Structure formats: C-alpha cells, structure tokens
Structure 1
C-alpha cells in the first residue's frame, strides 16, 4: 500500500512541475527565477489539490478526481499568477 502512496505523490509532483514549466514556455518567461517560481507554484498547488481531493491522504493511490483537481488547480493558480504579474507590470 505504501508503494501506491509514493507513486501518487510522484505523479502529482511531476504533474505540477510540468504544468509550471509549460506555463513558463507559454508566457515566454526567460528569467530563471520566474521559471522556478512557476514550477514551484504548479507543484505546490497540484500537491495540495490532489491531496485534498483524495480526502487528505495519498494512501491507496490517486483517484481520477484527485488528478483532475490537481490539474485544474495548478492551471488556475498559474493563470492567476500571470494575471497578477501582468497587472503589476502595467501599473
């Protein structure tokens, strides 16, 4: 049972990091600090959202609902980050 929890955690880490990296590509971010910040945002939100949707635990594996919530939450957080970042730059 512990192997499934480790695998679920690894899936969420990879999902969040990949979404953060893709967001940096789509936003054409070139500064290394910004790229790492986006990866961290995607990773943290995917872990929190996936864990929350799985009832607060990763024991027994990752459900499709948990995976979907992690994906949607990380994408929404990254969109919000970019919207706030652009707003600060324009002001």
Structure 2
C-alpha cells in the first residue's frame, strides 16, 4: 500500500514541478512520476541535510513534499539546461 501512495505523491510532485518549470506539455503521467521520485532523491541528497526534513521516501508530510518538489524542480532545471542550453 505504501508503494502506491509513494507513486501517487511522486506523480503529484512531478506534475507540480513540471508546471513550475513550464514543461507540462512535454511530459506524460509516467514521466511526472519518475521526475517526482528522482526529485525526491535529489532533494533528500541536497536539501534535506540543510533543513533537517525528510523526503517523500521517508514519510509524507508538508515539509517532505516541499523538499521533494524543490528536488524535482532542480532536476527539471538540469534537464532543460542540457536540452536547450539554458534554464527557463
């Protein structure tokens, strides 16, 4: 059951990050889930030690969703940088 919740929250985080970075038209549901989950790992590696909040991989709270969202935005910014040569 927790795996299903993990996928749903990862999809929502990926979708919100794609809206922020204006890449929503290029991504589908599967890519949103992947961006959300990989963004949670990036957020846990970069941001979580600075603020002391876990990610959606450790438990779901408002702080963990925000850390995961920032990680997903960072991931999309890196992808845009390599794809287009600039960050939107």
Corresponding residue for 1:57? none
Q: Which has the higher contact order (CA 8 A, sep 6+)?
A: 1
Return the alpha-carbon distance in structure 2 between the equivalents of residues 72 and 20 of structure 1. 11
RMSD: 3.1
Larger radius of gyration: 1
Partner residue, 1:59: none
Q: CA deviation at 1:39?
A: 2.5
The alpha carbon displacement at 1:46 in A equals 4.9
* TM-score (normalizing by structure 2): 0.53
State the shift of 1:24 in Å: 1.8
Point out where structure 1 has 5 or more consecutive residues left out of the alignment: 1-5, 54-65
Q: How many residues align?
A: 71
Gaps of 5+ in 2: 45-54
Q: TM-score, normalised by structure 1?
A: 0.52
1:67 to 60, 67, 77: 60
Matched with 1:90 is: 85
Q: Counting helix residues as a fraction of each chain, which structure ranks higher? A: 1
- Evaluate the alpha carbon distance shift between residue 46 and residue 82 of structure 1 in structure 2; reply closer, same or farther with a 3 A threshold: closer
How far has the Cα of 1:26 moved from its partner?
2.4
- Give the match for residue 72 of structure 2: 78
